[in-house]
Structure 1
Amino acid sequence: MRLSLLSFRSSIGSITPFFATIGGWLVFKQRFDRRFLIGLVLALLGATTIQIEDLLKSSNNFIGDTAALASSVFYAVNFLLLEQLRTKFSVEGILIWRCALGTLFMIPVVLIFSDQIFPISWSVWLAVISLAVVSEAVGHGLVVYSLKNFSSGFVSLVLLLDPIVGAILAWILFSESLSILNILAFAVIIEGIYLAKTGKGADKPSIKEQNT
Protein backbone atom coordinates (compact mmCIF):
# COMPACT_ATOMS: atom_id res chain seq x y z
CA MET A 1 0.00 0.00 0.00
CA ARG A 2 2.85 2.40 0.76
CA LEU A 3 4.29 1.83 -2.71
CA SER A 4 0.88 2.50 -4.22
CA LEU A 5 0.55 5.75 -2.31
CA LEU A 6 4.04 6.83 -3.33
CA SER A 7 3.30 6.03 -6.95
CA PHE A 8 0.04 7.95 -6.76
CA ARG A 9 1.76 11.03 -5.38
CA SER A 10 4.52 10.60 -7.94
CA SER A 11 1.90 10.70 -10.69
CA ILE A 12 0.50 13.91 -9.19
CA GLY A 13 4.01 15.35 -9.17
CA SER A 14 4.38 14.55 -12.86
CA ILE A 15 1.92 17.31 -13.76
CA THR A 16 4.64 19.91 -13.18
CA PRO A 17 4.83 20.63 -16.95
CA PHE A 18 1.15 21.61 -16.88
CA PHE A 19 1.72 24.22 -14.17
CA ALA A 20 4.94 25.44 -15.82
CA THR A 21 3.11 25.92 -19.11
CA ILE A 22 0.17 27.69 -17.47
CA GLY A 23 2.55 29.89 -15.47
CA GLY A 24 4.58 30.79 -18.54
CA TRP A 25 1.40 31.75 -20.38
CA LEU A 26 -0.22 33.74 -17.57
CA VAL A 27 2.81 35.44 -16.02
CA PHE A 28 5.37 35.71 -18.81
CA LYS A 29 2.98 35.86 -21.79
CA GLN A 30 4.54 32.86 -23.49
CA ARG A 31 2.63 31.47 -26.44
CA PHE A 32 1.88 27.81 -27.07
CA ASP A 33 0.15 26.45 -30.14
CA ARG A 34 -2.24 23.52 -30.42
CA ARG A 35 0.53 21.10 -31.39
CA PHE A 36 2.50 21.87 -28.23
CA LEU A 37 -0.60 21.53 -26.05
CA ILE A 38 -1.53 18.19 -27.63
CA GLY A 39 2.00 16.97 -26.99
CA LEU A 40 1.76 18.17 -23.39
CA VAL A 41 -1.49 16.28 -22.82
CA LEU A 42 -0.13 13.10 -24.43
CA ALA A 43 3.05 13.14 -22.34
CA LEU A 44 1.08 13.72 -19.14
CA LEU A 45 -1.28 10.86 -20.01
CA GLY A 46 1.71 8.62 -20.65
CA ALA A 47 3.32 9.56 -17.33
CA THR A 48 0.05 8.82 -15.52
CA THR A 49 -0.40 5.52 -17.35
CA ILE A 50 2.93 4.28 -16.02
CA GLN A 51 1.41 4.39 -12.54
CA ILE A 52 -2.11 3.31 -13.53
CA GLU A 53 -2.05 0.02 -11.63
CA ASP A 54 -0.93 1.69 -8.43
CA LEU A 55 -3.42 4.50 -8.98
CA LEU A 56 -6.25 1.99 -8.99
CA LYS A 57 -5.01 0.41 -5.76
CA SER A 58 -4.20 3.58 -3.83
CA SER A 59 -6.44 4.92 -1.08
CA ASN A 60 -7.31 8.55 -0.64
CA ASN A 61 -5.14 10.61 1.67
CA PHE A 62 -6.00 14.28 1.45
CA ILE A 63 -2.91 15.62 3.22
CA GLY A 64 -0.45 13.52 1.24
CA ASP A 65 -2.15 14.20 -2.08
CA THR A 66 -2.32 17.92 -1.35
CA ALA A 67 1.37 17.96 -0.46
CA ALA A 68 2.21 16.19 -3.73
CA LEU A 69 0.11 18.68 -5.68
CA ALA A 70 1.74 21.62 -3.89
CA SER A 71 5.21 20.24 -4.60
CA SER A 72 4.32 20.05 -8.28
CA VAL A 73 3.27 23.70 -8.26
CA PHE A 74 6.41 24.83 -6.44
CA TYR A 75 8.57 22.76 -8.78
CA ALA A 76 6.94 24.54 -11.72
CA VAL A 77 7.61 27.91 -10.07
CA ASN A 78 11.23 26.82 -9.67
CA PHE A 79 11.50 26.20 -13.42
CA LEU A 80 9.87 29.53 -14.26
CA LEU A 81 12.21 31.46 -11.96
CA LEU A 82 15.27 29.67 -13.31
CA GLU A 83 14.15 30.45 -16.84
CA GLN A 84 14.04 34.16 -16.04
CA LEU A 85 17.35 34.09 -14.16
CA ARG A 86 18.97 32.30 -17.09
CA THR A 87 18.42 35.35 -19.28
CA LYS A 88 20.74 37.40 -17.05
CA PHE A 89 23.09 35.02 -15.27
CA SER A 90 25.40 32.15 -16.17
CA VAL A 91 24.81 28.53 -15.23
CA GLU A 92 27.71 28.61 -12.78
CA GLY A 93 26.43 31.74 -11.07
CA ILE A 94 22.93 30.35 -10.64
CA LEU A 95 24.19 27.04 -9.25
CA ILE A 96 26.59 28.71 -6.82
CA TRP A 97 23.97 31.09 -5.45
CA ARG A 98 21.41 28.29 -5.30
CA CYS A 99 23.72 26.09 -3.25
CA ALA A 100 24.84 28.98 -1.05
CA LEU A 101 21.28 30.05 -0.21
CA GLY A 102 20.20 26.46 0.29
CA THR A 103 23.06 25.88 2.70
CA LEU A 104 22.28 29.09 4.56
CA PHE A 105 18.67 28.07 5.12
CA MET A 106 19.37 24.42 5.91
CA ILE A 107 22.13 24.87 8.51
CA PRO A 108 19.68 26.07 11.22
CA VAL A 109 17.39 23.13 10.44
CA VAL A 110 20.28 20.68 10.76
CA LEU A 111 21.41 22.25 14.02
CA ILE A 112 17.90 21.95 15.45
CA PHE A 113 17.34 18.30 14.57
CA SER A 114 20.88 16.92 14.66
CA ASP A 115 24.21 17.46 16.38
CA GLN A 116 26.15 16.17 13.39
CA ILE A 117 26.67 18.56 10.48
CA PHE A 118 29.42 16.89 8.43
CA PRO A 119 29.67 13.22 7.38
CA ILE A 120 31.69 11.01 9.71
CA SER A 121 32.74 8.27 7.27
CA TRP A 122 34.37 8.11 3.86
CA SER A 123 31.40 6.27 2.38
CA VAL A 124 29.03 9.06 3.40
CA TRP A 125 31.48 11.69 2.13
CA LEU A 126 31.58 9.84 -1.19
CA ALA A 127 27.79 9.83 -1.36
CA VAL A 128 27.62 13.57 -0.62
CA ILE A 129 30.31 14.38 -3.20
CA SER A 130 28.55 12.20 -5.77
CA LEU A 131 25.29 14.04 -5.15
CA ALA A 132 27.08 17.37 -5.56
CA VAL A 133 28.84 16.39 -8.79
CA VAL A 134 26.29 14.15 -10.51
CA SER A 135 22.96 15.48 -9.30
CA GLU A 136 23.71 19.16 -8.80
CA ALA A 137 26.61 20.14 -11.07
CA VAL A 138 25.80 17.84 -13.99
CA GLY A 139 22.08 17.12 -13.66
CA HIS A 140 20.76 20.44 -12.45
CA GLY A 141 23.44 22.27 -14.42
CA LEU A 142 22.16 20.80 -17.68
CA VAL A 143 18.60 21.76 -16.76
CA VAL A 144 19.61 25.36 -16.05
CA TYR A 145 21.69 25.47 -19.23
CA SER A 146 18.77 24.24 -21.35
CA LEU A 147 16.51 27.01 -20.03
CA LYS A 148 18.55 29.47 -22.08
CA ASN A 149 17.09 28.04 -25.28
CA PHE A 150 13.91 26.26 -24.23
CA SER A 151 10.84 27.23 -22.24
CA SER A 152 10.36 25.93 -18.71
CA GLY A 153 7.20 24.17 -19.85
CA PHE A 154 9.12 22.14 -22.41
CA VAL A 155 12.13 21.44 -20.16
CA SER A 156 9.89 20.13 -17.39
CA LEU A 157 8.08 18.05 -20.01
CA VAL A 158 11.33 16.44 -21.15
CA LEU A 159 12.03 15.44 -17.55
CA LEU A 160 9.08 13.06 -17.81
CA LEU A 161 11.66 10.82 -19.50
CA ASP A 162 13.04 10.07 -16.03
CA PRO A 163 10.84 7.00 -15.42
CA ILE A 164 11.68 5.70 -18.90
CA VAL A 165 15.42 5.93 -18.29
CA GLY A 166 14.99 4.43 -14.83
CA ALA A 167 12.90 1.53 -16.12
CA ILE A 168 15.35 0.75 -18.92
CA LEU A 169 18.31 0.80 -16.52
CA ALA A 170 16.41 -1.46 -14.10
CA TRP A 171 15.67 -3.82 -17.00
CA ILE A 172 19.33 -3.91 -18.05
CA LEU A 173 20.99 -3.98 -14.63
CA PHE A 174 18.47 -5.84 -12.48
CA SER A 175 16.50 -7.85 -15.07
CA GLU A 176 13.24 -6.23 -14.02
CA SER A 177 10.36 -6.85 -16.40
CA LEU A 178 8.56 -4.22 -18.45
CA SER A 179 4.86 -4.66 -19.11
CA ILE A 180 3.20 -3.90 -22.42
CA LEU A 181 1.37 -1.06 -20.68
CA ASN A 182 4.68 0.46 -19.57
CA ILE A 183 6.12 0.25 -23.07
CA LEU A 184 3.02 1.87 -24.56
CA ALA A 185 3.19 4.61 -21.93
CA PHE A 186 6.84 5.24 -22.79
CA ALA A 187 5.92 5.56 -26.47
CA VAL A 188 3.13 8.01 -25.65
CA ILE A 189 5.48 10.17 -23.56
CA ILE A 190 8.10 10.26 -26.32
CA GLU A 191 5.48 11.09 -28.94
CA GLY A 192 4.12 13.85 -26.72
CA ILE A 193 7.57 15.36 -26.25
CA TYR A 194 8.16 15.20 -30.01
CA LEU A 195 4.89 17.00 -30.75
CA ALA A 196 5.65 19.65 -28.14
CA LYS A 197 9.15 20.20 -29.54
CA THR A 198 7.86 20.67 -33.07
CA GLY A 199 5.11 23.01 -31.91
CA LYS A 200 5.27 26.64 -30.89
CA GLY A 201 6.29 27.15 -27.29
CA ALA A 202 9.19 24.76 -26.85
CA ASP A 203 11.92 27.08 -28.11
CA LYS A 204 12.55 30.43 -26.47
CA PRO A 205 11.32 33.25 -28.72
CA SER A 206 13.83 35.69 -30.14
CA ILE A 207 13.84 39.33 -29.06
CA LYS A 208 12.16 40.27 -32.33
CA GLU A 209 9.37 37.74 -31.74
CA GLN A 210 8.89 38.94 -28.17
CA ASN A 211 8.32 42.50 -29.37
CA THR A 212 5.66 41.50 -31.90
Structure 2
Amino acid sequence: MNTHQKSFYSLELLYVIGIIAISFSSIFIRWSEAEVSVIAMYRLYLTNLLMLPLAWKYRHELFRLTGKQWLLMAGSGIMLGLHFLFWMNSLRLTTVASSTVILTLEPILVMLGSFWFFRARANRMMIVGMSLAVVGSIAIGAGDFRASGDALLGDFLSLLGTIAVAVHMLFGKHLRESISAYVYNFWVFAIAASSLALYNVGNGFTFTGYAWREWGLFLLLAIVPTLFGHYLFNWLLKYINATAVSMAVLGEPVISSILAWMLLHERLTVVQLLAGMLILCGVWIFIRFGSDFKKPVSAAGDAELSKAG
Protein backbone atom coordinates (compact mmCIF):
# COMPACT_ATOMS: atom_id res chain seq x y z
CA MET A 1 0.00 0.00 0.00
CA ASN A 2 1.55 3.31 -1.08
CA THR A 3 1.68 6.49 0.96
CA HIS A 4 -1.27 8.10 -0.80
CA GLN A 5 -3.46 5.03 -0.20
CA LYS A 6 -2.53 5.02 3.50
CA SER A 7 -3.35 8.72 3.72
CA PHE A 8 -6.73 8.11 2.07
CA TYR A 9 -7.68 5.33 4.47
CA SER A 10 -6.46 7.42 7.41
CA LEU A 11 -8.78 10.22 6.30
CA GLU A 12 -11.67 7.74 6.05
CA LEU A 13 -11.03 6.49 9.59
CA LEU A 14 -10.87 10.02 11.01
CA TYR A 15 -14.07 10.87 9.13
CA VAL A 16 -15.92 7.94 10.74
CA ILE A 17 -14.59 8.85 14.20
CA GLY A 18 -15.93 12.37 13.70
CA ILE A 19 -19.40 11.08 12.77
CA ILE A 20 -19.58 8.92 15.90
CA ALA A 21 -18.32 11.77 18.10
CA ILE A 22 -20.86 14.37 16.95
CA SER A 23 -23.66 11.84 17.44
CA PHE A 24 -23.19 12.00 21.21
CA SER A 25 -23.86 15.74 21.26
CA SER A 26 -27.67 15.51 21.36
CA ILE A 27 -27.54 12.96 24.21
CA PHE A 28 -25.32 15.13 26.43
CA ILE A 29 -27.48 18.18 25.70
CA ARG A 30 -30.66 16.32 26.62
CA TRP A 31 -29.08 15.18 29.90
CA SER A 32 -28.19 18.75 30.89
CA GLU A 33 -30.69 21.02 32.65
CA ALA A 34 -28.82 24.27 31.97
CA GLU A 35 -29.84 26.86 29.37
CA VAL A 36 -28.70 25.66 25.95
CA SER A 37 -26.80 28.90 25.29
CA VAL A 38 -24.87 28.37 28.54
CA ILE A 39 -24.17 24.75 27.61
CA ALA A 40 -22.84 25.82 24.21
CA MET A 41 -20.76 28.65 25.69
CA TYR A 42 -18.99 26.46 28.23
CA ARG A 43 -18.63 23.66 25.71
CA LEU A 44 -16.60 25.95 23.48
CA TYR A 45 -14.67 27.78 26.22
CA LEU A 46 -13.64 24.43 27.74
CA THR A 47 -12.54 23.26 24.30
CA ASN A 48 -10.30 26.34 24.04
CA LEU A 49 -8.95 25.56 27.51
CA LEU A 50 -8.07 22.02 26.41
CA MET A 51 -6.31 23.45 23.35
CA LEU A 52 -4.13 25.89 25.33
CA PRO A 53 -1.17 23.50 25.87
CA LEU A 54 -0.46 23.72 22.13
CA ALA A 55 -0.86 27.50 21.91
CA TRP A 56 2.88 28.16 22.34
CA LYS A 57 3.66 26.09 19.25
CA TYR A 58 1.31 28.25 17.15
CA ARG A 59 1.97 31.54 18.97
CA HIS A 60 3.30 33.34 15.89
CA GLU A 61 0.52 32.22 13.54
CA LEU A 62 -2.23 32.96 16.07
CA PHE A 63 -1.75 36.73 15.77
CA ARG A 64 -0.58 37.05 12.17
CA LEU A 65 -3.93 37.03 10.44
CA THR A 66 -4.84 39.63 7.84
CA GLY A 67 -7.81 41.95 8.21
CA LYS A 68 -9.79 39.87 5.72
CA GLN A 69 -8.96 36.67 7.61
CA TRP A 70 -10.11 38.20 10.90
CA LEU A 71 -13.36 39.28 9.25
CA LEU A 72 -14.01 35.81 7.83
CA MET A 73 -13.02 34.27 11.16
CA ALA A 74 -15.54 36.46 12.97
CA GLY A 75 -18.25 35.47 10.50
CA SER A 76 -17.41 31.78 10.86
CA GLY A 77 -17.41 31.96 14.66
CA ILE A 78 -20.70 33.86 14.88
CA MET A 79 -22.33 31.39 12.50
CA LEU A 80 -21.09 28.47 14.62
CA GLY A 81 -22.49 30.14 17.73
CA LEU A 82 -25.86 30.61 16.01
CA HIS A 83 -25.82 26.98 14.90
CA PHE A 84 -25.42 25.78 18.48
CA LEU A 85 -28.02 28.23 19.77
CA PHE A 86 -30.69 27.26 17.24
CA TRP A 87 -30.01 23.53 17.01
CA MET A 88 -29.54 22.91 20.73
CA ASN A 89 -32.81 24.77 21.44
CA SER A 90 -34.54 22.53 18.90
CA LEU A 91 -33.58 19.47 20.98
CA ARG A 92 -35.69 20.84 23.84
CA LEU A 93 -38.78 21.04 21.60
CA THR A 94 -38.68 18.00 19.33
CA THR A 95 -37.19 14.50 19.19
CA VAL A 96 -33.52 13.74 18.56
CA ALA A 97 -34.48 12.03 15.28
CA SER A 98 -36.43 15.03 13.97
CA SER A 99 -33.85 17.57 15.09
CA THR A 100 -30.85 15.75 13.67
CA VAL A 101 -32.59 14.73 10.44
CA ILE A 102 -33.05 18.35 9.41
CA LEU A 103 -29.27 18.77 9.68
CA THR A 104 -29.02 16.51 6.61
CA LEU A 105 -29.85 19.55 4.50
CA GLU A 106 -26.40 20.92 5.34
CA PRO A 107 -24.41 19.18 2.55
CA ILE A 108 -26.94 20.35 -0.03
CA LEU A 109 -26.55 23.94 1.14
CA VAL A 110 -22.77 23.58 1.31
CA MET A 111 -22.61 22.02 -2.15
CA LEU A 112 -24.65 24.89 -3.59
CA GLY A 113 -22.47 27.40 -1.77
CA SER A 114 -19.26 25.67 -2.91
CA PHE A 115 -20.51 25.69 -6.49
CA TRP A 116 -21.39 29.38 -6.27
CA PHE A 117 -18.30 30.64 -4.43
CA PHE A 118 -15.55 28.10 -5.19
CA ARG A 119 -16.74 26.58 -8.50
CA ALA A 120 -16.57 23.14 -6.89
CA ARG A 121 -18.10 20.18 -8.74
CA ALA A 122 -19.84 17.00 -7.60
CA ASN A 123 -19.72 13.89 -9.78
CA ARG A 124 -22.70 11.64 -10.48
CA MET A 125 -21.91 9.08 -7.77
CA MET A 126 -21.50 11.82 -5.16
CA ILE A 127 -24.97 13.10 -6.02
CA VAL A 128 -26.40 9.54 -5.91
CA GLY A 129 -24.85 8.95 -2.49
CA MET A 130 -26.10 12.28 -1.19
CA SER A 131 -29.61 11.62 -2.52
CA LEU A 132 -29.80 8.20 -0.86
CA ALA A 133 -28.61 9.63 2.43
CA VAL A 134 -31.07 12.53 2.37
CA VAL A 135 -34.00 10.20 1.55
CA GLY A 136 -32.99 7.89 4.38
CA SER A 137 -32.61 10.77 6.79
CA ILE A 138 -36.06 12.12 5.98
CA ALA A 139 -37.54 8.67 6.58
CA ILE A 140 -35.93 8.51 10.02
CA GLY A 141 -37.67 11.64 11.21
CA ALA A 142 -40.90 11.21 9.23
CA GLY A 143 -42.74 9.64 12.13
CA ASP A 144 -41.76 12.45 14.47
CA PHE A 145 -42.54 15.54 12.40
CA ARG A 146 -45.53 17.55 13.60
CA ALA A 147 -47.63 20.14 11.79
CA SER A 148 -47.96 22.52 14.74
CA GLY A 149 -46.92 23.31 18.30
CA ASP A 150 -43.51 23.00 19.92
CA ALA A 151 -42.33 20.27 17.55
CA LEU A 152 -42.83 22.51 14.52
CA LEU A 153 -40.90 25.31 16.24
CA GLY A 154 -38.16 22.82 17.06
CA ASP A 155 -37.99 21.75 13.41
CA PHE A 156 -37.74 25.39 12.31
CA LEU A 157 -34.95 26.12 14.80
CA SER A 158 -33.04 23.08 13.55
CA LEU A 159 -33.39 24.40 9.99
CA LEU A 160 -31.99 27.79 11.03
CA GLY A 161 -29.12 25.99 12.75
CA THR A 162 -28.45 24.03 9.56
CA ILE A 163 -28.24 27.20 7.47
CA ALA A 164 -25.87 28.75 10.02
CA VAL A 165 -23.51 25.77 10.10
CA ALA A 166 -23.47 25.59 6.27
CA VAL A 167 -22.28 29.22 6.13
CA HIS A 168 -19.75 28.44 8.88
CA MET A 169 -18.44 25.52 6.80
CA LEU A 170 -18.02 27.68 3.69
CA PHE A 171 -16.10 30.33 5.63
CA GLY A 172 -13.97 27.57 7.11
CA LYS A 173 -13.15 26.03 3.73
CA HIS A 174 -11.83 29.38 2.51
CA LEU A 175 -9.80 30.07 5.67
CA ARG A 176 -8.33 26.56 5.91
CA GLU A 177 -6.57 27.08 2.60
CA SER A 178 -4.10 29.39 4.36
CA ILE A 179 -4.53 28.81 8.10
CA SER A 180 -3.67 25.76 10.21
CA ALA A 181 -6.46 23.71 11.79
CA TYR A 182 -5.33 24.71 15.28
CA VAL A 183 -5.43 28.46 14.65
CA TYR A 184 -8.74 28.28 12.81
CA ASN A 185 -10.44 26.18 15.48
CA PHE A 186 -9.00 28.15 18.39
CA TRP A 187 -10.30 31.50 17.15
CA VAL A 188 -13.58 30.19 15.76
CA PHE A 189 -14.43 28.44 19.03
CA ALA A 190 -13.40 31.52 21.04
CA ILE A 191 -15.50 33.88 18.88
CA ALA A 192 -18.51 31.55 18.96
CA ALA A 193 -18.26 31.15 22.75
CA SER A 194 -17.89 34.91 23.28
CA SER A 195 -20.91 35.59 21.05
CA LEU A 196 -22.93 33.18 23.17
CA ALA A 197 -21.57 34.82 26.35
CA LEU A 198 -22.93 38.19 25.18
CA TYR A 199 -26.26 36.54 24.45
CA ASN A 200 -26.31 35.02 27.95
CA VAL A 201 -25.50 38.36 29.59
CA GLY A 202 -28.24 40.05 27.58
CA ASN A 203 -30.76 37.45 28.72
CA GLY A 204 -29.63 37.46 32.35
CA PHE A 205 -28.58 33.79 32.38
CA THR A 206 -26.32 32.83 35.28
CA PHE A 207 -22.73 31.73 34.62
CA THR A 208 -22.23 29.94 37.96
CA GLY A 209 -23.99 27.75 40.51
CA TYR A 210 -24.23 24.62 38.37
CA ALA A 211 -23.97 21.13 39.87
CA TRP A 212 -20.85 19.05 39.26
CA ARG A 213 -22.94 16.83 36.98
CA GLU A 214 -23.57 19.82 34.71
CA TRP A 215 -19.87 20.73 34.59
CA GLY A 216 -19.13 17.11 33.69
CA LEU A 217 -21.57 17.31 30.78
CA PHE A 218 -20.03 20.60 29.63
CA LEU A 219 -16.62 18.90 29.63
CA LEU A 220 -17.90 15.82 27.79
CA LEU A 221 -19.38 18.10 25.11
CA ALA A 222 -16.02 19.84 24.78
CA ILE A 223 -14.05 16.60 24.42
CA VAL A 224 -16.28 14.24 22.45
CA PRO A 225 -18.39 16.11 19.85
CA THR A 226 -16.27 19.30 19.73
CA LEU A 227 -12.63 18.12 19.72
CA PHE A 228 -13.27 14.71 18.13
CA GLY A 229 -16.07 16.08 15.95
CA HIS A 230 -15.99 19.75 14.95
CA TYR A 231 -12.23 20.18 15.37
CA LEU A 232 -11.57 17.04 13.36
CA PHE A 233 -13.90 18.08 10.55
CA ASN A 234 -12.32 21.54 10.40
CA TRP A 235 -8.91 19.85 10.13
CA LEU A 236 -10.21 17.64 7.31
CA LEU A 237 -11.33 20.72 5.34
CA LYS A 238 -7.73 21.09 4.13
CA TYR A 239 -7.81 17.66 2.45
CA ILE A 240 -11.48 17.14 1.59
CA ASN A 241 -13.96 19.54 0.01
CA ALA A 242 -16.54 21.26 2.20
CA THR A 243 -19.44 19.25 0.74
CA ALA A 244 -17.74 15.96 1.58
CA VAL A 245 -16.99 17.05 5.15
CA SER A 246 -20.56 18.26 5.63
CA MET A 247 -21.81 14.82 4.49
CA ALA A 248 -20.71 13.55 7.90
CA VAL A 249 -23.88 15.05 9.34
CA LEU A 250 -25.90 12.48 7.39
CA GLY A 251 -24.57 9.71 9.59
CA GLU A 252 -25.54 11.57 12.74
CA PRO A 253 -29.30 10.82 12.69
CA VAL A 254 -28.57 7.09 12.55
CA ILE A 255 -26.24 6.93 15.54
CA SER A 256 -28.03 9.68 17.48
CA SER A 257 -31.40 7.96 17.03
CA ILE A 258 -29.98 4.65 18.24
CA LEU A 259 -28.37 6.35 21.23
CA ALA A 260 -31.64 8.19 21.98
CA TRP A 261 -33.49 4.86 21.87
CA MET A 262 -30.97 3.26 24.22
CA LEU A 263 -30.31 6.14 26.63
CA LEU A 264 -33.35 8.42 26.39
CA HIS A 265 -35.96 5.73 25.64
CA GLU A 266 -37.18 7.51 22.52
CA ARG A 267 -39.14 5.36 20.08
CA LEU A 268 -37.22 3.92 17.14
CA THR A 269 -39.22 2.05 14.50
CA VAL A 270 -38.19 -0.63 12.01
CA VAL A 271 -38.68 1.91 9.22
CA GLN A 272 -36.25 4.29 10.91
CA LEU A 273 -33.69 1.50 11.30
CA LEU A 274 -33.98 0.59 7.62
CA ALA A 275 -33.70 4.26 6.72
CA GLY A 276 -30.53 4.40 8.78
CA MET A 277 -29.06 1.63 6.65
CA LEU A 278 -29.90 3.70 3.58
CA ILE A 279 -28.08 6.71 5.04
CA LEU A 280 -24.96 4.71 5.79
CA CYS A 281 -25.06 3.31 2.25
CA GLY A 282 -25.34 6.81 0.83
CA VAL A 283 -22.48 8.12 2.98
CA TRP A 284 -20.30 5.17 1.92
CA ILE A 285 -21.00 5.81 -1.77
CA PHE A 286 -20.22 9.50 -1.37
CA ILE A 287 -16.93 8.79 0.41
CA ARG A 288 -15.83 5.94 -1.86
CA PHE A 289 -16.64 7.53 -5.18
CA GLY A 290 -16.25 11.20 -4.31
CA SER A 291 -13.52 12.61 -6.54
CA ASP A 292 -12.14 14.91 -3.83
CA PHE A 293 -11.89 12.06 -1.34
CA LYS A 294 -9.90 9.97 -3.81
CA LYS A 295 -7.58 12.81 -4.76
CA PRO A 296 -4.15 12.23 -3.14
CA VAL A 297 -3.23 14.74 -0.49
CA SER A 298 -0.19 16.88 -1.02
CA ALA A 299 3.23 16.17 0.42
CA ALA A 300 2.56 18.84 3.01
CA GLY A 301 -0.75 17.16 3.73
CA ASP A 302 0.97 13.81 4.21
CA ALA A 303 3.36 15.40 6.70
CA GLU A 304 0.56 16.99 8.72
CA LEU A 305 -1.45 13.78 8.63
CA SER A 306 1.47 11.73 9.92
CA LYS A 307 1.98 14.23 12.76
CA ALA A 308 -1.72 14.05 13.68
CA GLY A 309 -1.57 10.27 13.81
TM-score, with normalisation over the residues of structure 1?
0.79
Which residue of the partner structure matches residue 279 of structure 2?
A: 189
C-alpha separation in 2, matches of 1:115 and 1:12: 28
CA deviation vs aligned residue, 1:142-196 (integer Å, no higher than 9, x gap) = 1112222212211221221112222344566678775331222112111211221
2:215 is the alignment partner of 1:125: yes
Question: Quick one: which amino acid aligns to residue 193 of structure 2?
Answer: T
1:106 and 2:210 matched = no
How do 1:55-74 and structure 2 match up within 5 A?
A: 55=145, 58-60=146-148, 67-74=157-164
- Match status 1:12 vs 2:105: no
> Percent sequence identity over matched residues?
24
Q: Distance in 1 between matches of 2:129 and 2:170?
A: 20
**Which residue of 21, 26, 33 maps to 2:116?**
26
User: Contact 1:95–1:141 (CA<8 Å) still a contact in 2?
Assistant: yes
Q: Taking structure 1 as reference, are residues 60 and 113 closer, same or farther at Cα in structure 2, changes over 3 Å only?
A: closer
Q: Is the 8 A contact 2:288 2:294 kept in 1?
A: no
Deviations 1:24-49 (A, max 9, x none): 11211111111111111110001001
CA displacement, residues 1-53 of structure 1 (integer Å, 9 cap, x when unaligned):
x647x755543332111111111112111111111111111100010010122
Q: For the residues of structure 1 that align with 2:205 and 2:243, how far apart are their CA atoms?
A: 41
Contact 1:148 1:204 in 2 (8 A): no
**Which structure 1 segments of 5+ residues have no match?**
none
TM (norm. structure 2) is 0.56
CA separation of 1:64/1:37 partners in 2, compared to 1, >3 Å: closer, same or farther? same
Q: Is there any run of 5+ residues in structure 2 with no aligned partner, and where?
A: 1-92, 299-309
Structure 1 residues 108, 166: CA separation in 2 closer, same or farther (over 3 Å shift)? Answer: closer
Q: Could you say which residue in structure 2 is the equivalent of 1:139?
A: 229
The aligned length equals 204
In structure 2, give the amino acid aligned to 1:59.
Answer: A
8 Å contact 2:104–2:249 — kept in the other structure? no
What SS does the aligned partner of 2:194 have? Answer: helix
Distance 1:170 1:181 in 2: 16
Q: Secondary structure at the match of 2:222?
A: helix
Describe the SS at the equivalent of 1:36. Answer: helix
CA distance in 2, matches of 1:128, 1:207: 35
Q: Is the 8 A contact 1:151 1:201 kept in 2?
A: no
Aligned twin of 1:152: 242
Structure-2 separation of matches of 1:195 and 1:103: 35
